[in-house]
Amino acid sequence: MDTILTLDRTAAATPRAKVATHLVADDKAMLRTAVELTRDLTAAKPAIYWADLVASALVGWGGLAVAILASSTALAIVAGLVSMLALYRGISFIHELTHVKHASLPGFRSGWNALIGVPMLTPSFMYEGVHNLHHAKTRYGTAEDPEYLPLALMKPWTLPLFIVISALAPIGLLIRYAVLSPLSVVIPGLRRVVVERFSALAINPSFRRRMPEGAFRTQWNRIEAAASLWAITLLVLVASGVVPLRAFLIFLAVAAGVAVVNQVRTLVAHLWENEGESMSVTAQYLDTVNVPPPALLPMLWAPVGLRYHALHHLLPSVPYHALGEAHRRLSAALDAISPYHQASYPGLPGLVARIARSTMVSRR
Protein backbone atom coordinates (compact mmCIF):
# COMPACT_ATOMS: atom_id res chain seq x y z
CA MET A 1 0.00 0.00 0.00
CA ASP A 2 1.52 3.33 -1.15
CA THR A 3 0.72 7.03 -1.07
CA ILE A 4 -0.78 9.11 -3.88
CA LEU A 5 1.98 11.70 -3.38
CA THR A 6 4.92 11.10 -5.69
CA LEU A 7 8.54 11.89 -6.39
CA ASP A 8 9.96 12.29 -9.88
CA ARG A 9 12.22 9.63 -11.36
CA THR A 10 14.41 12.43 -12.71
CA ALA A 11 15.76 12.89 -9.19
CA ALA A 12 17.76 9.68 -9.60
CA ALA A 13 21.50 10.23 -9.49
CA THR A 14 23.67 8.79 -12.24
CA PRO A 15 27.26 8.42 -10.91
CA ARG A 16 26.52 5.24 -8.97
CA ALA A 17 27.52 1.92 -10.53
CA LYS A 18 24.55 0.13 -12.04
CA VAL A 19 22.89 -2.40 -9.74
CA ALA A 20 22.74 -5.80 -11.44
CA THR A 21 19.85 -7.29 -9.47
CA HIS A 22 17.90 -7.69 -12.69
CA LEU A 23 20.51 -10.21 -13.89
CA VAL A 24 19.64 -12.71 -11.13
CA ALA A 25 18.14 -15.85 -12.65
CA ASP A 26 15.20 -17.64 -11.10
CA ASP A 27 16.03 -20.15 -8.39
CA LYS A 28 13.67 -22.87 -9.55
CA ALA A 29 14.22 -25.03 -6.48
CA MET A 30 13.13 -22.20 -4.19
CA LEU A 31 10.10 -21.35 -6.32
CA ARG A 32 9.02 -24.98 -6.56
CA THR A 33 9.45 -25.57 -2.82
CA ALA A 34 7.49 -22.41 -2.01
CA VAL A 35 4.51 -23.59 -4.04
CA GLU A 36 4.60 -27.19 -2.85
CA LEU A 37 4.88 -26.41 0.86
CA THR A 38 2.06 -23.86 0.94
CA ARG A 39 -0.69 -25.47 -1.14
CA ASP A 40 -2.82 -25.90 1.98
CA LEU A 41 -2.40 -22.27 3.11
CA THR A 42 -4.18 -20.39 0.32
CA ALA A 43 -7.70 -20.35 1.79
CA ALA A 44 -8.74 -17.10 3.45
CA LYS A 45 -10.45 -17.54 6.83
CA PRO A 46 -13.41 -15.13 7.05
CA ALA A 47 -13.60 -15.24 10.86
CA ILE A 48 -10.02 -13.99 11.15
CA TYR A 49 -10.50 -11.25 8.56
CA TRP A 50 -13.73 -9.94 10.05
CA ALA A 51 -12.60 -10.13 13.69
CA ASP A 52 -9.34 -8.33 12.89
CA LEU A 53 -11.06 -5.64 10.82
CA VAL A 54 -13.84 -4.95 13.31
CA ALA A 55 -11.43 -4.89 16.26
CA SER A 56 -9.12 -2.49 14.41
CA ALA A 57 -12.03 -0.19 13.57
CA LEU A 58 -13.43 -0.24 17.11
CA VAL A 59 -10.07 0.51 18.71
CA GLY A 60 -9.21 3.07 16.04
CA TRP A 61 -12.40 5.11 16.14
CA GLY A 62 -12.79 4.60 19.89
CA GLY A 63 -9.26 5.88 20.46
CA LEU A 64 -10.01 8.90 18.27
CA ALA A 65 -13.11 9.67 20.34
CA VAL A 66 -11.07 9.48 23.56
CA ALA A 67 -8.39 11.74 22.07
CA ILE A 68 -11.02 14.31 21.10
CA LEU A 69 -12.90 14.22 24.42
CA ALA A 70 -9.90 13.90 26.75
CA SER A 71 -9.33 16.75 29.17
CA SER A 72 -5.71 15.70 29.69
CA THR A 73 -3.16 16.42 26.98
CA ALA A 74 -1.19 13.30 27.89
CA LEU A 75 -4.31 11.11 27.59
CA ALA A 76 -5.20 12.75 24.28
CA ILE A 77 -1.73 12.00 22.88
CA VAL A 78 -1.75 8.38 24.04
CA ALA A 79 -5.27 7.83 22.72
CA GLY A 80 -4.32 9.49 19.46
CA LEU A 81 -1.34 7.15 19.02
CA VAL A 82 -3.49 4.11 19.77
CA SER A 83 -6.08 5.36 17.29
CA MET A 84 -3.45 5.95 14.63
CA LEU A 85 -1.94 2.48 14.95
CA ALA A 86 -5.32 0.76 14.96
CA LEU A 87 -6.63 2.71 11.96
CA TYR A 88 -3.33 2.03 10.19
CA ARG A 89 -3.86 -1.67 10.75
CA GLY A 90 -7.42 -1.36 9.51
CA ILE A 91 -6.45 0.59 6.40
CA SER A 92 -3.76 -2.00 5.60
CA PHE A 93 -6.53 -4.46 4.70
CA ILE A 94 -6.85 -2.59 1.40
CA HIS A 95 -3.83 -4.65 0.36
CA GLU A 96 -5.65 -7.90 1.11
CA LEU A 97 -8.68 -6.71 -0.87
CA THR A 98 -6.59 -6.64 -4.04
CA HIS A 99 -5.53 -10.28 -3.69
CA VAL A 100 -8.29 -12.19 -1.94
CA LYS A 101 -11.07 -13.88 -3.89
CA HIS A 102 -14.12 -11.89 -2.89
CA ALA A 103 -16.33 -14.96 -3.13
CA SER A 104 -14.40 -16.40 -0.18
CA LEU A 105 -15.03 -13.24 1.89
CA PRO A 106 -18.60 -12.19 1.03
CA GLY A 107 -19.35 -8.60 1.96
CA PHE A 108 -15.82 -7.87 3.16
CA ARG A 109 -15.10 -5.16 0.58
CA SER A 110 -18.32 -3.33 1.49
CA GLY A 111 -17.65 -3.77 5.21
CA TRP A 112 -14.10 -2.48 4.89
CA ASN A 113 -15.19 0.55 2.88
CA ALA A 114 -17.89 1.36 5.44
CA LEU A 115 -15.66 0.95 8.50
CA ILE A 116 -12.34 2.27 7.18
CA GLY A 117 -12.07 3.10 3.49
CA VAL A 118 -14.72 5.80 3.12
CA PRO A 119 -14.21 7.47 6.54
CA MET A 120 -10.45 7.61 5.87
CA LEU A 121 -11.05 8.72 2.26
CA THR A 122 -9.04 5.81 0.86
CA PRO A 123 -11.77 3.68 -0.76
CA SER A 124 -10.92 0.28 -2.17
CA PHE A 125 -10.97 1.32 -5.83
CA MET A 126 -7.82 3.39 -5.24
CA TYR A 127 -5.84 0.14 -4.93
CA GLU A 128 -7.88 -2.42 -6.83
CA GLY A 129 -6.76 -2.52 -10.43
CA VAL A 130 -3.50 -0.78 -9.46
CA HIS A 131 -1.66 -3.07 -7.06
CA ASN A 132 -2.00 -6.09 -9.34
CA LEU A 133 0.19 -4.25 -11.88
CA HIS A 134 2.97 -4.12 -9.27
CA HIS A 135 2.87 -7.93 -9.14
CA ALA A 136 3.00 -8.42 -12.90
CA LYS A 137 6.33 -10.11 -13.68
CA THR A 138 7.01 -7.95 -16.72
CA ARG A 139 6.09 -4.67 -14.97
CA TYR A 140 7.73 -4.93 -11.54
CA GLY A 141 10.43 -2.30 -11.10
CA THR A 142 9.87 -0.81 -14.56
CA ALA A 143 8.41 2.53 -15.58
CA GLU A 144 5.05 0.75 -15.91
CA ASP A 145 5.01 -0.24 -12.22
CA PRO A 146 2.75 2.20 -10.31
CA GLU A 147 4.39 1.32 -6.99
CA TYR A 148 8.09 1.54 -7.79
CA LEU A 149 10.77 4.22 -7.87
CA PRO A 150 14.55 3.65 -7.69
CA LEU A 151 14.68 5.41 -4.32
CA ALA A 152 18.03 3.87 -3.37
CA LEU A 153 19.58 5.51 -6.45
CA MET A 154 18.07 8.95 -5.91
CA LYS A 155 19.56 11.95 -4.18
CA PRO A 156 19.66 12.00 -0.34
CA TRP A 157 17.14 14.84 0.02
CA THR A 158 14.47 12.74 -1.69
CA LEU A 159 14.13 10.37 1.28
CA PRO A 160 13.06 12.91 3.94
CA LEU A 161 10.87 14.60 1.32
CA PHE A 162 9.29 11.22 0.52
CA ILE A 163 8.29 10.89 4.19
CA VAL A 164 7.37 14.49 5.03
CA ILE A 165 5.16 15.01 2.00
CA SER A 166 2.97 12.06 3.04
CA ALA A 167 1.75 14.08 6.05
CA LEU A 168 -0.23 16.21 3.57
CA ALA A 169 -2.18 13.20 2.31
CA PRO A 170 -5.32 13.85 4.45
CA ILE A 171 -5.65 17.38 3.05
CA GLY A 172 -5.05 16.13 -0.47
CA LEU A 173 -7.73 13.47 -0.04
CA LEU A 174 -10.23 16.02 1.27
CA ILE A 175 -9.64 18.14 -1.83
CA ARG A 176 -9.87 15.04 -4.03
CA TYR A 177 -13.28 13.98 -2.72
CA ALA A 178 -14.92 17.20 -1.52
CA VAL A 179 -13.90 19.34 -4.50
CA LEU A 180 -12.61 17.35 -7.47
CA SER A 181 -15.17 14.53 -7.31
CA PRO A 182 -18.28 16.73 -7.64
CA LEU A 183 -16.59 19.05 -10.15
CA SER A 184 -15.54 16.10 -12.31
CA VAL A 185 -19.15 15.02 -12.62
CA VAL A 186 -20.02 18.19 -14.53
CA ILE A 187 -16.65 18.75 -16.27
CA PRO A 188 -15.91 15.70 -18.47
CA GLY A 189 -12.31 16.70 -19.18
CA LEU A 190 -11.60 17.03 -15.48
CA ARG A 191 -13.09 13.60 -14.85
CA ARG A 192 -10.44 11.93 -16.96
CA VAL A 193 -7.67 13.82 -15.16
CA VAL A 194 -9.10 12.88 -11.75
CA VAL A 195 -9.30 9.20 -12.67
CA GLU A 196 -5.92 9.03 -14.37
CA ARG A 197 -3.86 11.02 -11.86
CA PHE A 198 -5.70 11.26 -8.53
CA SER A 199 -7.38 7.89 -8.09
CA ALA A 200 -4.52 5.52 -7.33
CA LEU A 201 -2.34 4.78 -4.33
CA ALA A 202 0.87 4.95 -6.35
CA ILE A 203 4.32 6.53 -6.11
CA ASN A 204 5.29 6.46 -9.79
CA PRO A 205 4.52 9.93 -11.20
CA SER A 206 4.31 8.63 -14.76
CA PHE A 207 1.53 6.16 -13.96
CA ARG A 208 -1.90 6.89 -15.42
CA ARG A 209 -5.00 4.88 -14.55
CA ARG A 210 -7.32 3.63 -17.22
CA MET A 211 -10.93 4.74 -17.04
CA PRO A 212 -13.00 2.09 -15.23
CA GLU A 213 -15.39 -0.03 -17.22
CA GLY A 214 -18.34 -2.35 -16.70
CA ALA A 215 -19.22 -3.58 -13.22
CA PHE A 216 -16.04 -2.07 -11.75
CA ARG A 217 -17.10 1.36 -13.01
CA THR A 218 -20.49 1.01 -11.33
CA GLN A 219 -18.86 -0.09 -8.08
CA TRP A 220 -16.29 2.72 -8.32
CA ASN A 221 -18.95 5.40 -8.84
CA ARG A 222 -21.03 4.17 -5.92
CA ILE A 223 -18.12 4.10 -3.48
CA GLU A 224 -16.72 7.42 -4.73
CA ALA A 225 -20.12 9.06 -4.23
CA ALA A 226 -20.11 7.87 -0.61
CA ALA A 227 -16.58 9.18 -0.05
CA SER A 228 -17.44 12.51 -1.67
CA LEU A 229 -20.59 12.90 0.42
CA TRP A 230 -18.64 12.13 3.59
CA ALA A 231 -15.86 14.62 2.74
CA ILE A 232 -18.34 17.41 1.93
CA THR A 233 -20.41 16.69 5.04
CA LEU A 234 -17.35 16.73 7.26
CA LEU A 235 -16.18 20.10 5.93
CA VAL A 236 -19.67 21.59 6.22
CA LEU A 237 -19.98 20.38 9.83
CA VAL A 238 -16.61 21.90 10.69
CA ALA A 239 -17.38 25.20 8.91
CA SER A 240 -20.76 25.47 10.68
CA GLY A 241 -19.25 24.73 14.09
CA VAL A 242 -21.14 21.49 14.62
CA VAL A 243 -17.83 19.65 14.66
CA PRO A 244 -15.31 21.64 16.74
CA LEU A 245 -12.17 22.71 14.94
CA ARG A 246 -10.08 21.00 17.62
CA ALA A 247 -11.77 17.66 16.93
CA PHE A 248 -11.23 18.08 13.20
CA LEU A 249 -7.55 18.90 13.66
CA ILE A 250 -7.08 15.84 15.88
CA PHE A 251 -8.66 13.70 13.18
CA LEU A 252 -6.33 15.20 10.58
CA ALA A 253 -3.33 14.60 12.86
CA VAL A 254 -4.27 10.94 13.35
CA ALA A 255 -4.84 10.50 9.60
CA ALA A 256 -1.51 12.18 8.86
CA GLY A 257 0.16 9.81 11.32
CA VAL A 258 -1.33 6.85 9.46
CA ALA A 259 0.00 8.22 6.17
CA VAL A 260 3.49 8.87 7.56
CA VAL A 261 3.86 5.45 9.18
CA ASN A 262 2.69 3.81 5.98
CA GLN A 263 5.17 5.88 3.98
CA VAL A 264 8.02 4.81 6.27
CA ARG A 265 6.94 1.19 5.74
CA THR A 266 6.84 1.81 1.99
CA LEU A 267 10.38 3.22 2.16
CA VAL A 268 11.69 -0.09 3.50
CA ALA A 269 9.30 -2.47 1.72
CA HIS A 270 11.79 -2.86 -1.15
CA LEU A 271 15.47 -2.21 -1.66
CA TRP A 272 14.49 0.06 -4.59
CA GLU A 273 17.65 -0.76 -6.51
CA ASN A 274 16.22 -1.52 -9.94
CA GLU A 275 16.52 1.10 -12.67
CA GLY A 276 13.71 -0.02 -14.94
CA GLU A 277 14.79 -3.41 -16.27
CA SER A 278 12.54 -6.45 -16.24
CA MET A 279 13.43 -8.84 -13.42
CA SER A 280 13.04 -12.54 -12.71
CA VAL A 281 10.71 -13.59 -9.89
CA THR A 282 13.74 -14.39 -7.72
CA ALA A 283 15.26 -10.97 -8.45
CA GLN A 284 11.96 -9.32 -7.52
CA TYR A 285 11.94 -11.34 -4.30
CA LEU A 286 15.48 -10.25 -3.43
CA ASP A 287 14.55 -6.61 -4.06
CA THR A 288 11.78 -6.97 -1.48
CA VAL A 289 11.92 -7.24 2.32
CA ASN A 290 10.86 -9.65 5.05
CA VAL A 291 11.15 -8.60 8.70
CA PRO A 292 10.24 -11.86 10.48
CA PRO A 293 10.27 -12.69 14.20
CA PRO A 294 11.92 -12.35 16.67
CA ALA A 295 11.48 -8.64 15.83
CA LEU A 296 8.31 -7.39 17.56
CA LEU A 297 7.83 -3.81 16.34
CA PRO A 298 6.98 -4.88 12.75
CA MET A 299 3.62 -5.97 14.14
CA LEU A 300 2.88 -2.26 14.49
CA TRP A 301 4.58 -0.67 11.45
CA ALA A 302 4.09 -3.59 9.01
CA PRO A 303 0.74 -5.12 10.07
CA VAL A 304 -1.62 -7.49 8.25
CA GLY A 305 1.18 -9.61 6.83
CA LEU A 306 3.24 -6.72 5.46
CA ARG A 307 6.24 -7.81 7.52
CA TYR A 308 6.45 -10.73 5.06
CA HIS A 309 6.43 -8.50 1.99
CA ALA A 310 9.07 -10.47 0.08
CA LEU A 311 7.29 -13.74 0.79
CA HIS A 312 4.07 -12.14 -0.37
CA HIS A 313 5.70 -11.32 -3.71
CA LEU A 314 6.72 -14.97 -3.93
CA LEU A 315 3.26 -16.25 -2.96
CA PRO A 316 0.69 -13.48 -3.52
CA SER A 317 -2.25 -15.87 -3.14
CA VAL A 318 -1.41 -16.76 0.47
CA PRO A 319 -3.61 -14.72 2.86
CA TYR A 320 -1.97 -12.55 5.49
CA HIS A 321 -2.87 -14.81 8.42
CA ALA A 322 -0.97 -17.76 6.84
CA LEU A 323 2.25 -15.96 5.90
CA GLY A 324 3.89 -16.63 9.26
CA GLU A 325 3.37 -20.37 8.89
CA ALA A 326 4.54 -20.26 5.26
CA HIS A 327 7.73 -18.48 6.36
CA ARG A 328 8.41 -21.07 9.08
CA ARG A 329 8.00 -23.94 6.62
CA LEU A 330 10.22 -22.43 3.96
CA SER A 331 12.89 -21.34 6.45
CA ALA A 332 13.13 -24.90 7.72
CA ALA A 333 13.02 -26.58 4.30
CA LEU A 334 15.45 -24.42 2.34
CA ASP A 335 19.18 -24.71 3.04
CA ALA A 336 21.31 -21.83 4.26
CA ILE A 337 22.53 -20.87 0.78
CA SER A 338 19.03 -20.50 -0.65
CA PRO A 339 18.14 -16.98 -1.82
CA TYR A 340 15.07 -17.25 0.37
CA HIS A 341 17.03 -16.31 3.49
CA GLN A 342 18.66 -13.28 1.85
CA ALA A 343 15.44 -11.24 1.88
CA SER A 344 15.09 -11.30 5.69
CA TYR A 345 16.25 -8.29 7.73
CA PRO A 346 16.31 -7.70 11.50
CA GLY A 347 14.36 -4.46 11.69
CA LEU A 348 13.45 -0.96 10.57
CA PRO A 349 16.57 1.03 11.64
CA GLY A 350 18.96 -1.11 9.59
CA LEU A 351 16.75 -0.90 6.51
CA VAL A 352 16.48 2.89 6.74
CA ALA A 353 20.25 3.14 7.21
CA ARG A 354 20.82 0.92 4.18
CA ILE A 355 18.76 3.01 1.79
CA ALA A 356 20.24 6.22 3.23
CA ARG A 357 23.76 4.91 2.58
CA SER A 358 22.73 3.96 -0.95
CA THR A 359 21.61 7.50 -1.71
CA MET A 360 24.88 8.88 -0.33
CA VAL A 361 26.86 6.53 -2.59
CA SER A 362 24.71 7.67 -5.49
CA ARG A 363 25.52 11.26 -4.64
CA ARG A 364 29.24 10.59 -4.82
pLDDT at 297 over 60: yes
Tell me the pLDDT tens digit for each residue of 206-238. 999 999 999 999 999 999 999 999 999 999 999
What percent of the chain is predicted at pLDDT more than 90? 86
Report yes or no on 233 lying in a domain: yes
- Work out the mean pLDDT of the chain and round it to a whole number: 92
Q: What is the DSSP string of 184-205?
A: HHH-HHHHHHHHHHSSS----T
Torsion angles phi and psi, residue 288, rounded to 5: -120, 165
pLDDT score at 21: 58
Give the pLDDT band of residue 17 (cuts 50, 70, 90).
very low
What percent of the chain is predicted at pLDDT more than 70? 93
pLDDT score at 2: 55
Alpha helices in the chain (DSSP H): 28-37, 46-69, 73-91, 93-97, 108-112, 131-134, 158-164, 169-175, 181-186, 188-197, 214-239, 245-267, 281-286, 298-301, 309-314, 323-333, 348-363
Rounded CA-CA distance 53/99 in Å is 16
Q: From the CB of residue 82, how many other CB atoms can be counted at a distance below 10 Å? A: 18
pTM beyond 0.75, yes or no: yes
Cβ–Cβ under 8 Å, residues 62 and 363: no
Tell me the pLDDT tens digit for each residue of 316-337. 999 999 999 999 999 999 999 9
Report yes or no on 22 lying in a domain: yes
Report yes or no on 3 lying in a domain: no
On the 0-12 / 13-18 / 19+ scale of CB atoms within 10 A, 307 is: buried
Report yes or no on 261 lying in a domain: yes
On the 0-12 / 13-18 / 19+ scale of CB atoms within 10 A, 74 is: exposed
Report yes or no on 4 lying in a domain: no
Q: How many domains does the chain have?
A: 1
CA triple 225-227-231, angle to 5 deg = 115
pLDDT at 364 over 80: no
Which DSSP symbol is given to 279? -
Report yes or no on 1 lying in a domain: no
Report yes or no on 32 lying in a domain: yes
Give the pLDDT band of residue 18 (cuts 50, 70, 90).
very low
Cβ–Cβ under 8 Å, residues 123 and 115: no
Rounded CA-CA distance 42/101 in Å is 10
Cβ–Cβ under 8 Å, residues 159 and 355: yes
Looking at the chain, how many residues does it have?
364
Report yes or no on 126 lying in a domain: yes
Give me the domain span that covers residue 82.
9-363
Of the candidate ranges 12-26, 58-72, 179-193, 222-236, the one whose mean pLDDT is the lowest? 12-26
